[in-house]
Amino acid sequence: MSQQGYVTAPPYSQSQPRMGGFSAGFGPPNSSLHYGHYGDPNSSHAAPQPGMSKPTVPLGSSAPLGPLPPGTHQFSQNNFQSGASAAGQQPHRFQSPPPPNNTGPSYPPSSLHSQPASPHTASTSCTTQLANQLNSMQINSYGPSAIQSSHTSSGHPASFQGPQPLPLTQHQMALPPGPQIPPPANNFSGLCAQSSLPNMARQDGIPGSGLPNPNLQQLPGQTPGPGYHPQQGNYGPQMAGSQLSYPGAFPGGPAQLSGPPQKRLDPDSIPSPIQVIENDKSSRGGQIYATNTRGQVPPLVTTDCLIQDQGHASPRYIRCTTYCFPSTSDMAKQARIPLAAVIQPFATVPQNETPLYVVNHGEAGPIRCNRCKAYMCPFMQFIEGGRRYQCGFCNCINDVPPFFFQHLDHIGRRVDHYERPELSLGSYEYVATLDYCRNNKPPNPPAYIFMIDVSYRNINSGLVKLICDELKTLLDKLPREEQEESSAIRVGFVTYNKVLHFFNVKSNLAQPQMMVVSDVGEVFVPLLDGFLVNFQESRSVVNNLLDQIPEMFADTNESETIFAPVIQAGMEALKAAECAGKLFIFHSSLPTAEAPGKLRNRDDKKLLNTDKEKTLFQPQVNSYESLARDCVANGCCVNLFLFPNQYVDIASLGLVTMHTGGTLYKYNNFQLNSDSPQFLTDLRRDIEKKTGFDAIMRVRTSTGFRATDFFGAIYMNNTTDVEMAAVDCDKAVTVEFKHDDKLNEDSGALIQCAVLYTSISGQRRLRIHNIGLNCSTQLADVYKTCETDALINFFAKSAFKAILSQPLKAVREILVSQTAHMLACYRKNCASPSAVSQLILPDAMKVLPVYVNCLLKSSVLTGRPEIPTDERAYHRQLVMSMGVADTQLFFYPQLLPIHNLDLKSDAVPAAVRCSEERLSEGGAFILANGLSMFLWLGVSTPPELIQGLFNVPSFAHISTEATLLPDLANTYSKKIKSIVEHIQNQKPYTMKLMIVKQREQPEMLFRQFLVEDKSIHGGASYVDFLCCVHKEICQLLN
Amino acid sequence: MATYLEFIQQNEERDGVRFSWNVWPSSRLEATRMVVPLACLLTPLRERPDLPPVQYEPVLCSRPTCKAVLNPLCQVDYRAKLWACNFCFQRNQFPPAYAGISEVNQPAELMPQFSTIEYIVQRGPQTPLIFLYVVDTCLEEEDLQALKESLQMSLSLLPADALVGLITFGRMIQVHELSCEGISKSYVFRGTKDLTAKQIQDMLGLSRPAVPIQQGRPLQAPEQPVISSRFLQPVHKIDMNLTDLLGELQRDPWPVTQGKRPLRSTGVALSIAVGLLEGTFPNTGARIMLFTGGPPTQGPGMVVGDELKTPIRSWHDIEKDNARFMKKATKHYETLANRTATNGHCIDIYACALDQTGLLEMKCCANLTGGHMVMGDSFNTSLFKQTFQRVFNKGLNGEFRMAFGANLEVKTSRELKIAGAIGPCVSLNVKGPCVSENELGIGGTSQWKICGLDPCTTLAIYFEVVNQHNAPIPQGGRGAVQFVTQYQHSSTQKRIRVTTIARNWADAQSQLQHIEAAFDQEAAAVLMARLGVYRAESEEGPDVLRWLDRQLIRLCQKFGQYNKDDPNSFRLSESFSLYPQFMFHLRRSPFLQVFNNSPDESSYYRHHFARQDLTQSLIMIQPILYAYSFHGPPEPVLLDSSSILPDRILLMDTFFQIVIYLGETIAQWQKAGYQDMPEYENFKHLLQAPLDDAQEILQTRFPMPRYVHTEHGGSQARFLLSKVNPSQTHNNLYAWGQESGAPILTDDVSLQVFMDHLKKLAVSSAA
């Protein structure tokens, strides 16, 4: 078994911590181990030809295994138990078994005797159904041929090249409808030519798609009325070849599906995300989930339940891609399931869950293992009557400090087990001692600095006045500790255009004082005392200032702005004040003024789909990277509110925000009337957010595995310390783990995440999250406990990180192939024997294909000129710091029918699948993805609904200008507003509501979010993608 | 003819000129043998209440290389309406306006009493005076408060239309915008980064409009203030604003940790002030007034680091080449001073601190631009407050005693050449036929720029007689010198003052006694002293002293009457009698001795010495001592330790200090409180008399002297003891018996010893 085929190494992992490493990340072979198959120099195929290499690998390596689904499980066990040392021999050992096992398909499913029954049975119903469905698609016709091919290929095991064309041609020859088969010729040629295919196909499918503005684009096939739906069915197959722009796609395959004799695949029969979500809701929603068991799979993110910390961190804080790690790295490589945890250390917990306890050991400080420095937690085992404890992470035996000593009870547990959070809970906080502080000095309370672009545009649009007016009330709501009366956070104000204006708002001044710093080349802070003030004390001066700012610049005609010096100035101010803090920068244009970090418009559509496309996501000038480093070093978090009218180079502007744990907000073509509510809500929420400042996170693991890669709004100076200038409740860090050694099934895999930070009151604290996972030598256990939502979070982040160094095409290919591998491995090792043609999905990964397809269709991974580069960079940045719930919603939007509401109940209606065919002319739907929200209205929406919502008599009277629903005193309005509120609740970004009428132009925008359909930007529909994946799996299995 | 003393006196009063020699040796060789160079002290703007300025343009000689101004010494042909230039002998036609002249109808400039005449001319725009305050905020609270009050007070003293600006500095430099309503606005600069004038103007947003207006339409004056209106505003418009602004001025807010000096960016602050004016108001009268309370500690121009443990450089460090920052800082300030001088602005330095403030490095700013230099212990002293107030004093005719941007041109008749000048000026590098190749002071030019001057400002100008020995000057021939000073009057008028003087030539061989009699030993002493001090700036102290000694010995050899090798026979004529004594005190003065003085103090003393007029300079060289006693009216007494008697009150004026010293007995009486007893009222009067006299000096002197009131045995008595001639020391106390006086604990030689040596050397045939 060749290693390169099943390297489960993280596809995009890049363990280089330095920030400048984008370009160096993947190219050079020096750290090949981490690179996985992104240009893995170890693999036999040449890195620059990913298109060709893909079929080579699965075919060459997996062909012999193809016919042995039931047996594989056993074999693989044997193999992994003994095989680690004899990896090179594996192919031979596998090749001999095939003939005797050739009758494999007839094995009864029960041969999977060792598997726990319950979840598996649940899955079978689903898989069979799916298989049937696929059978009807005649995919099963591959079955026999595949077997044949495997026979053939098994005859040439030594050669990778030899067997490959052969089985493929056989495939094609086996396809019944001959005429539609494309020239059988050479599969390679097909693959090579594949790059040109999308264009052709696009033209076939959507002739109008060449139009530059997607909003104005009209689908020709989108004829009104019912005729549309049948047509759509035809689209899919035609498109498939083109849309699946990875080499596994058979150019001829889709033609098959469109063949006349065949019936359309019923969308209801393929795994439905909505179904999965609803099932989980109904089975686990509203219940108490106690985290008392190691390796327990939590409810889905979409399910509401009460979480009780009983020794493991709540899934709100940590979610893992799988709750059972494979015991060995070979197993992990075989399954290729990423082992990762998505950690949201400051996640908001609902009111009815217990907030974190704070442990204070006074001078002594937190108790830590002497060797690995892990903090005292439930995984520590007390021995010798309580005098010592054994560290669960490194097994070191430590003395219990005298003040902490306690006797053990009859089961060896400390008597005070339940009295001490650090012994009984998964998550808790420690009060840190001076050793944990910068320069061994207690930190000052953090500061917020508001930095407002007062160039002509912002003055003219009224934005400056809006901000100033809002701040007057907002500053009263600065976050504070529960027990304190007022916030300890100090505030400062800066305005800028080509130069910076600092303001002295010291409480004893009658008037604020303005200090202009025009030396933008080497910016500095002109004042210390009076710049950062307590709002309560300086209220009158600050209000005076906020009143005057709009007037002061009222007749400005300065249109050029600076940007990097603004951040620099804020950072220097915090540095001078010796505190951490957040900058709130309100910026609107490309910084073109002569200053460091000056940018030019480099948006170039010609770069799309070339090797240089990645540069669009990299900062234009290096200064932003060093600025980010300095900001992190000084605990300066940069929150950026952008109001662009055109290209502003978010890849550059947002870089510092990204690395400092800040949040980027973007309001295109900001209009005071329509966009203020959205912006102000975002601003309010951001200011009030609970945040940890100057944070450093460390993830410790028990022996046998370790954290290797980190994704998020973070900065890494070395390979272990995750630095964040600030971390708020919405920021999540995705951590990938890799095996060092064998994992012990008894002790499991333990993870401790410790975040050292400064609280809003200026207290240095440690937040500890502990979670224990199971380990198993059974792949089935791993598959059983997978969490698709977390997987997608991981895939999204790693892919979005990879596009900085890899061509888009390669990134997409890897996503598809990894998906296929994971599923193929399951099929091979865990599933009950069935026809190879049957698509069998693990229950926990049922919806993985649809989600991966959504990810592939995301604007970031779609290099299309219609999508503004800034929009892609923006999304990329947002996703990098998202938690599991956010990515779930972002990639698979929520679509709620609101025309048939039960007005009496409080419940939010059940979502429907994001597909055109779920819409109806007579219906109204709300769609939300966490960034935007649409209210879609069918042409024959009931008038009473329209009246109730908009207070207008008919569909035609509805204005689509509005971004808010009017406040009306009727049940419709109230109910729907409450639904909107519910959707918006706890989301990091405020969604602007867009009202979309059926068959009006803006509907195009809306349609992009119907992610199960094929996309106007060339993304495959769910069905097509599933077919593709299936084919890829089949190939792998053969 | 009156005595030479009267002649000299008269000349000084009329023309503000004092020559070392009032009869000139007629050949180059003879002149060099005179030892003391032919030179003069010129007070260009000496107050002449009797001299009304005339309101027309001067008439110039038409020869392009001469351009001398018509003066009473010119030969005039009234019938032909021609005049002959007395410098180049060019015959010139009178301009048409002079058509009506005749012997009885002469224009003022031809009348002998108008050897000095002032013209008011209409030239260029009249821009208001500019005062730019550059204020250090790294001060103690009390100091800052006092300074703020002084500054606020000064606003009322400024001319109402004067433009005023404010720059404050500490760790950062703030240029305050004065025109704004509401929020007070300032531009802030980092104190560590030197900026070019262009950068400064860019950053202040001055560059764009300034270019077309400055160069394109230089005559449209009214538009100019608009350019810089944000930073320089007419006093009458913004005095309220500025008063408030000054009132709100805070101490530099940056924390100063234990053991550190505050970070003070004087160098950059000054650079910004210079750059601001350079860009906006070049060549108009402007004063940059720097108020600083300590040494520059960062950025270009830093004089000392911020670590308190490393003290600021001393003379010892400088001699050992241990002054790390001195050279760089000096260079920085020199560059600034030269730029400022080019722009015609001047820089005042008001430095008030107990320790040194870097005057050594910054001195050129005031020296080259004619600015004031004031040194005090604190801004909260009357010394500073009164001195500062006096900057804005008005003269006899109600005009400010300040003038700007003066251009002094010297023309000489052909037997003379100009060797150089010493004073608060810079060379304009105008070479010409009358410029000597031998330089004394700032030479190589016939024109100098004095950016700031007042009626007392005095320059020493050195000449060289170039007439060859074999080309005798006809009997009765006179040498002439014309001083043409163009300047901006405090009323913003452009004025030209022309002084033309002439002196007789005499053959030194046949008429030495004439020359000898016409020797002005006071002027000569000051002129030599200026040369000595000028040299001391660049040479080692002992070298200068040796040079001075050699000159003195040579002079005594030349003009003394003696028998060879017989010291007792040595006599000097009356016109030379005081000269050796001046030299003795000069040798001991702080201008040449750095012992016991910090480099800052030396710079301060030298600064004033190089610009004060003859009388003040003499006081500086040899302080005046008055004695008050019951034995008679107050009388001047010898500056000698023998003058210190128990029953005397002494009043010493050294220019920089006024010392009142109570003799031992007087002090005891005062302690016993006799002055309060009605029967000893005369004692009270005796105590009061010197106070009143001191007060009189204090009232007029600029800068205000340090006022010391001490008594026998008091620690401050050192001020007196260090100045008097140590005729009695611990070495010879008993030899002199119990006669009188107080012994001085010093190893310095006394005047008597000095004179003995001098005589010995002068008469020595070996020399």
What is the rounded CA–CA span in Å between residue A998 and residue A955? 10
**Which range among A170-184, B19-33, B438-452 shows the weakest confidence by mean pLDDT?**
A170-184
C-alpha dihedral sign at B370, B374, B375, B379: negative
pLDDT digits (tens, 9 = 90+) for A813-858: 999 999 999 999 998 888 877 777 788 889 899 999 999 999 999 9
Q: Between chains, do A524 and B190 touch, taking CB under 8 Å as contact? A: yes
Q: Is pLDDT above 80 for A261?
A: no
Q: Between chains, do B193 and A519 touch, taking CB under 8 Å as contact? A: yes
What is the rounded CA–CA span in Å between residue A328 and residue A782? 12
| Interface residue B248 vs chain A (CB under 8 A) | yes
Average pLDDT over residues A530-552: 93
Class of domain B130-206+229-391: alpha beta
Q: Using CB atoms, pick whichever of A522, A526, A548 lies closest to residue B188.
A: A526
Q: Is pLDDT above 90 for A115?
A: no
Evaluate whether B520 touches B20 at the Cβ level (below 8 Å).
Answer: yes
What is the rounded CA–CA span in Å between residue B617 and residue B456? 11
Q: Between chains, do B182 and A530 touch, taking CB under 8 Å as contact? A: no
Average pLDDT over residues B8-27: 91
Task: Give the pLDDT score at B662.
Answer: 93
Average pLDDT over residues A425-454: 94
Q: Is pLDDT above 50 for A113?
A: no
The ipTM of this complex is 0.84
DSSP state of B310: S
Phi, psi values for residue B565, rounded to 5° = 60, 20
pLDDT digits (tens, 9 = 90+) for B418-459: 999 999 999 999 998 899 999 999 999 999 999 999 999 999
Cα of B81 vs its chain's centroid, Å:
43
**Which range among A751-765, A862-876, B221-235, B340-354 shows the weakest confidence by mean pLDDT?**
B221-235
Q: Where in chain B is the domain with CATH 3.40.50.410?
A: 130-206+229-391
What is the rounded CA–CA span in Å between residue A1018 and residue A238? 12
Task: Give the pLDDT score at B733.
Answer: 58
Q: What is the mean pLDDT of chain B?
A: 89
Q: Identify the band that residue B144 occupies on the pLDDT scale cut at 50, 70 and 90.
A: very high
Task: Give the pLDDT score at A949.
Answer: 87
Contacts of B182 in chain A (CB under 8 A): 511, 548, 551-552
The helix-helix angle for B359-369 and B599-609 (nearest 10°) equals 10
Contacts of A502 in chain B (CB under 8 A): 188
Average pLDDT over residues A145-155: 37
Average pLDDT over residues B335-344: 94
What is the rounded CA–CA span in Å between residue A699 and residue A343? 10
**Which range among A89-98, A862-871, B255-264 shows the weakest confidence by mean pLDDT?**
A89-98
pLDDT digits (tens, 9 = 90+) for A605-622: 888 888 888 888 999 999
Contacts of A509 in chain B (CB under 8 A): 248
What is the rounded CA–CA span in Å between residue A157 and residue A64? 8
| Interface residue B202 vs chain A (CB under 8 A) | yes
B contact test, residue of A513, A557, A558, A562 with most B CBs within 10 A:
A513
Q: Is pLDDT above 60 for A55?
A: no
Q: Is pLDDT above 50 for B197?
A: yes
A463, containing H or E segment? helix A463-474
Q: Is pLDDT above 70 for B412?
A: yes
Average pLDDT over residues A238-253: 36
Q: Is pLDDT above 90 for A12?
A: no
Q: Is pLDDT above 90 for A92?
A: no
Task: Give the pLDDT score at A972.
Answer: 84
How many other C-beta atoms are found inside a 10 Å radius of the C-beta of residue A28? 12
Structure tokens at A354: 């217990």
In our burial notation (b when 16+ CB lie closer than 10 A, e otherwise), range B709-744 reads ebbbeeebbebbbbbbbbbbbeeebeeeeeeebbbb
Q: Which residues contact B533 (CB under 8 A, 6 or more apart)?
A: B591, B592, B606, B609, B610
| Interface residue B251 vs chain A (CB under 8 A) | no
B contact test, residue of A454, A496, A497, A515 with most B CBs within 10 A:
A515
Give the position of tokens 């010394």.
Answer: B383
Contacts of B187 in chain A (CB under 8 A): 515-518
Q: Where in chain B is the domain with CATH 2.60.40.1670?
A: 4-55+115-121+401-507
DSSP state of B554: H
What is the rounded CA–CA span in Å between residue B656 and residue B589? 12
Q: Identify the band that residue B274 occupies on the pLDDT scale cut at 50, 70 and 90.
A: very high
Contacts of B202 in chain A (CB under 8 A): 518
**Which range among A129-143, A908-922, B111-125 shows the weakest confidence by mean pLDDT?**
A129-143
Average pLDDT over residues B600-604: 94
Higher-pLDDT residue of A216 and A267 is: A267
Phi, psi values for residue B435, rounded to 5° = -100, 125
> A447 to chain B nearest CA, in Å?
18
- Domain spanning B623-724: which superfamily? Severin (3.40.20.10)
**Which range among A121-135, A336-350, B25-39 shows the weakest confidence by mean pLDDT?**
A121-135
The burial class, CB within 10 Å (0-12 / 13-18 / 19+), for A400 is buried
> B139 to chain A nearest CA, in Å?
16
Higher-pLDDT residue of B145 and A251 is: B145
Contacts of A548 in chain B (CB under 8 A): 182-183
Q: Is pLDDT above 60 for B686?
A: yes
CATH number of B520-622+749-766: 1.20.120.730
Give the position of tokens 């008894």.
Answer: A746
Task: Give the pLDDT score at B740.
Answer: 56
Q: Between chains, do A548 and B183 touch, taking CB under 8 Å as contact? A: yes
Nearest Cα neighbor of A1033 from A276, A69, A359, A113 is A69
C-alpha dihedral sign at B443, B448, B452, B455: positive
Amino acid in the structure at residue A608: L
Cis amide leading into B703 (omega within 30):
yes
Q: Identify the band that residue A124 occupies on the pLDDT scale cut at 50, 70 and 90.
A: very low
Average pLDDT over residues B239-267: 90
| Interface residue B203 vs chain A (CB under 8 A) | yes
**Which range among A18-32, A698-712, B486-500 shows the weakest confidence by mean pLDDT?**
A18-32
**Which range among A554-558, A886-890, B182-186, B289-293 shows the weakest confidence by mean pLDDT?**
B182-186
Q: Which residues of A touch B (CB under 8 A)?
A: 499, 502-503, 509-519, 522, 524, 526-530, 545, 548, 551-552
Higher-pLDDT residue of A204 and A926 is: A926
Q: Where in chain B is the domain with CATH 1.20.120.730?
A: 520-622+749-766
% of chain A surpassing 70 pLDDT? 74
Q: Which residues of B are annotated as a binding site for Zn(2+)?
A: 61, 66, 85, 88
Q: Is A28 helix (H, G, I), strand (E, B) or coil?
A: coil
What is the rounded CA–CA span in Å between residue B703 and residue B532? 23
Contacts of A551 in chain B (CB under 8 A): 182
Evaluate whether B654 touches B623 at the Cβ level (below 8 Å).
Answer: yes
Q: Identify the band that residue A120 occupies on the pLDDT scale cut at 50, 70 and 90.
A: very low
What is the rounded CA–CA span in Å between residue A73 and residue A81? 12
Q: Between chains, do B184 and A499 touch, taking CB under 8 Å as contact? A: no
Q: Between chains, do B183 and A552 touch, taking CB under 8 Å as contact? A: yes
**Which range among A92-106, A269-283, B708-722 shows the weakest confidence by mean pLDDT?**
A92-106
Q: Is pLDDT above 50 for A973?
A: yes
Contacts of A511 in chain B (CB under 8 A): 182-184
Q: Where in chain B is the domain with CATH 3.40.20.10?
A: 623-724
| Interface size, chain A vs chain B, as Cβ–Cβ contacts under 8 Å | 63
Per DSSP, the residues of A742-802 read PPPTTT-EEEEEEEEEE-TTS-EEEEEEEEEEEEES-HHHHHHTB-HHHHHHHHHHHHHHH
Q: Identify the band that residue B741 occupies on the pLDDT scale cut at 50, 70 and 90.
A: low
Q: Is pLDDT above 60 for A129?
A: no
Nearest Cα neighbor of A965 from A975, A956, A39, B358 is A975
Q: Which residues of B are annotated as a binding site?
A: 61, 66, 85, 88
Q: What is the dihedral of CA A271, A277, A278, A282, to 10 degrees?
A: 130
Task: Give the pLDDT score at A715.
Answer: 94
Average pLDDT over residues B692-701: 91
Task: Give the pLDDT score at A686.
Answer: 93
Task: Give the pLDDT score at B230.
Answer: 82
Task: Give the pLDDT score at A909.
Answer: 87
> B247 to chain A nearest CA, in Å?
11
Average pLDDT over residues A309-315: 94
What is the rounded CA–CA span in Å between residue B45 and residue B370? 13
Contacts of A543 in chain B (CB under 8 A): none
- Domain spanning B4-55+115-121+401-507: which superfamily? beta-sandwich domain of Sec23/24 (2.60.40.1670)
Task: Give the pLDDT score at A612.
Answer: 87
Q: Using CB atoms, pick whichever of B184, B195, B255 lies closest to residue A513.
A: B184
C-alpha dihedral sign at A20, A25, A29, A33: positive
Q: Which residues contact A212 (CB under 8 A, 6 or more apart)?
A: A865, A866
